[in-house]
Amino acid sequence: MKKEFKLQFFLVFLILILLILLSEKLNKKIDMSNNKIYSISNYTNELFNSLDDCASITWFKSKNAIKLLPQLDYLNAILNEYSKKENCNFNIVETEDLSENAIIKLGLIPEQIQTGTRDKQIIENIYSSLMIEYKDEAKLIPFVFEINNLEYTIANTMSNLIQDSIGLTLERQVYIIAQKEVFNTQYKYVLPFLEYAGYIPVLIPSNTKDSLNEINSLNTEYPLIVIGSENISKTLLQKINNFLQNSGNACFFVSGMKIDLNGNWVAEPKSDDLIELLASYGFYIGRDLLLDIFNFNLQMNSKDGLTSEIINYPFWIRINRPQIDKDQPLFAAYKTLQTFWPSSLITDNTIDKTLKPIIHTSNQSTKMIENFNTDPFLIDNNSYAGLKPEKNIIAAISKKRGKIFVMSDEYFISTAIEYAGADYNLTFMVNIVEWLSDKTQLLKLKNKQTAIMPFKSFENKNEYTKIIIYARILNFILIPAVILSVILILKIKERKQKNVQNPH
């Protein structure tokens, strides 16, 4: 009996050891995430399968990048999935093996990470960049420190490189109508964001004669962005109307009020032809200002200049997830949007049955239609006391002919985002352009987001090493020991029961 028990114990122990060794060798991973963030989607697989030449993905990283930022281990695992494709090579190049001139020539930019102990803090430059190459084309993605949007970025870059390799770069044109001087001032972030996404902006100044020449070449195959509504000539307006009538896809950022951004934010009602044109398509932009209790808290210097104060500024309305139509693909990877002095927007379904509101305020918003007091220091509850609280529309879409997106806030993508840290507004603008460009499947890749990052970043290398050691002890020693102990106890009980039943 003792020999049989010892043999069983030895076999169980041997099986456990073999399973541990086998798991190390096989390292089989199953993607259990809801949005399959750790797997390559069908869209991207089909994109790579369509290549008629081999693509190359190179990860330029610091040697200690994964040790300092453990989440990069997941990045490494996902990038290795691309190496399994017949027409894609994946390489890792450690930046310590490159000369300083080579790093500069490649355009690699480090991220500064604080490391060290309690007594001594060290700032380290950590590199993590991707170079994607196809035929004679290449694109560097300078900052890749997480897996969110990774597949979208690779798929979008690969798609652009394919177009570039066959001379179709201009297929990514996007027309922008706005006053000429604002591209370097008030709307200086619009062009860089579009260009980073791979688009080729074609500027059509609304307030110069050059716009008439530019608009003649407007092609309805490319999306149109209109920012603001002032100083647009009758001729240019007619060209915009023709574009829409011919099923062109367009988005409009147009307010019913003009705000003096360089002064004390004085608001004045606007009256121009573009607002009237949008009304003919069923989009009625009000000459008013919306206010909401869900707003941005401004931190401003007090009038005496000696202190600062926090001001609830009701004209800067925040748009949270319950205030959007979540089924629309242009809300991929949604974060809170920040509006700046939006006007009301009413849709008329008798003109267009496809009109659909997709962004609205809370049901506690109000509408200011006169005596426009926008001074942050003069705003108080009395400024809008007595106004009827209601839900108001801020953005709507149409699909009657082409796609049309209208937002009653032309400051939404202006430099006002600097005050509120609202960079996502510009990302959302890119989402709109991709929706207008019929890139719905590409947009959906943005939804592959981690709810919680798999690992935190460790500032102390010793802390990280200690946790790894504890994890190995737990998995390879303590858990097997508990299992063996349970088996041993059960066997002892079984033996005692047999001895009781058969005392001799």
DSSP string, 432-467: HHHHHTT-HHHHHGGG---SS-SSPPPS-HHHHHHH
* Same domain as 286, residue 202: yes
DSSP string, 35-64: T-TTS--HHHHHHHHT-SS-EEEEEEE-TT
Using alpha carbons, select from 45, 55, 41, 42 the residue that is nearest to residue 165: 55
Residue 496 resides in a domain:
no
Using alpha carbons, select from 396, 281, 264 the residue that is nearest to residue 342: 396
In 39-168 the beta strands, taken as DSSP E runs, fall at 55-61, 88-94, 111-116, 121-126, 128-134, 137-141
* Same domain as 436, residue 321: yes
- Per DSSP bridges, beta strands 295-301 and 308-319 are antiparallel
* Same domain as 325, residue 345: yes
Residue 102 resides in a domain:
yes
Q: Which of 136, 162, 188 marks a domain boundary?
A: 162
* Same domain as 350, residue 209: yes
* Same domain as 135, residue 69: yes
Using alpha carbons, select from 410, 404, 409 the residue that is nearest to residue 394: 409
Per-residue CA distances from 222 to 26, 200, 253, 404 (Å) = 49, 10, 18, 13
**Residue 389 amino acid letter:** P
Q: Is 391 helix (H, G, I), strand (E, B) or coil?
A: coil
Task: Report the domain count for the chain.
Answer: 2
- Domain interval for residue 70: 42-162
Q: What is the pLDDT of residue 251?
A: 98
Using alpha carbons, select from 181, 174, 195 the residue that is nearest to residue 426: 195
Residue 336 resides in a domain:
yes
Question: CA 347, CA 279: separation in Å to the nearest integer?
Answer: 9
Q: Is 385 helix (H, G, I), strand (E, B) or coil?
A: coil
Q: Which of 397, 415, 447 marks a domain boundary?
A: 447
Using alpha carbons, select from 379, 409, 480 the residue that is nearest to residue 13: 480
Q: Which of 144, 162, 180 marks a domain boundary?
A: 162
* Same domain as 329, residue 212: yes
* Same domain as 223, residue 84: no
Handedness of CA 77, 81, 82, 88 (dihedral sign): positive
* Same domain as 267, residue 157: no
* Same domain as 273, residue 241: yes
Residue 266 resides in a domain:
yes
CATH of the domain at 120: 3.40.30.10
Residue 146 resides in a domain:
yes
Residue 71 resides in a domain:
yes
Write phi, then psi, for 381 (nearest 5 degrees): -60, -30
Residue 165, token pair as written in the block: 């390799």
Per-residue CA distances from 307 to 265, 303, 421 (Å) = 21, 8, 22
By CB atoms closer than 10 A (0-12, 13-18, 19+), residue 414 is buried
By CB atoms closer than 10 A (0-12, 13-18, 19+), residue 498 is exposed
| Rg (the chain; Cα; Å) | 30
Helix axes 42-49, 150-165, angle to 10 degrees: 30
Question: CA 27, CA 179: separation in Å to the nearest integer?
Answer: 58
What is the enclosing helix (H) or strand (E) of 356?
Answer: strand 356-360
Handedness of CA 113, 118, 122, 124 (dihedral sign): negative
Tell me which residues of the chain have a pLDDT lower than 70. Answer: 1-13, 16-17, 19-36, 116-118, 208-217, 302-305, 380-387, 451-465, 468, 472, 476, 498-504
Contact 324, 395 (CB under 8 A): no
Residue 123 resides in a domain:
yes
Model pTM score: 0.82
Q: What is the pLDDT of residue 460?
A: 54
Half-sphere exposure for 347 (CA within 13 Å, toward CB): 21
CATH of the domain at 195: 3.40.50.880
Per-residue CA distances from 179 to 23, 200, 214, 275, 381 (Å) = 63, 18, 14, 16, 36
Per-residue HEC secondary structure of 238-291 comes to: HHHHHHHHCCCCEEEECCCEEECCCCCCCEEECCCHHHHHHHHCCEEECCCEEE
Write phi, then psi, for 200 (nearest 5 degrees): -110, 95
Contact 289, 340 (CB under 8 A): no
* Same domain as 437, residue 339: yes
Residue 228, token pair as written in the block: 């603001």
Question: CA 118, CA 460: separation in Å to the nearest integer?
Answer: 9
Check residue 129 and report its DSSP letter. Answer: E
Q: What is the pLDDT of residue 455?
A: 46
Contact 261, 186 (CB under 8 A): yes
The answer for 4, left when phi > 0, alpha when psi is -120 to 50, beta otherwise, is: alpha
* Same domain as 292, residue 359: yes
- Residue 423 CB contacts under 8 Å (≥ 6 apart), including other chains: 417
Handedness of CA 419, 422, 426, 428 (dihedral sign): negative
Question: CA 118, CA 496: separation in Å to the nearest integer?
Answer: 57
Question: CA 338, CA 417: separation in Å to the nearest integer?
Answer: 8
* Same domain as 250, residue 187: yes
368-372's contacts with Cβ under 8 Å and 24+ in sequence apart are: 368/288, 368/289, 368/290, 368/291, 369/286, 369/287, 369/288, 372/257, 372/266, 372/267, 372/268, 372/269, 372/289
Residue 469 resides in a domain:
no
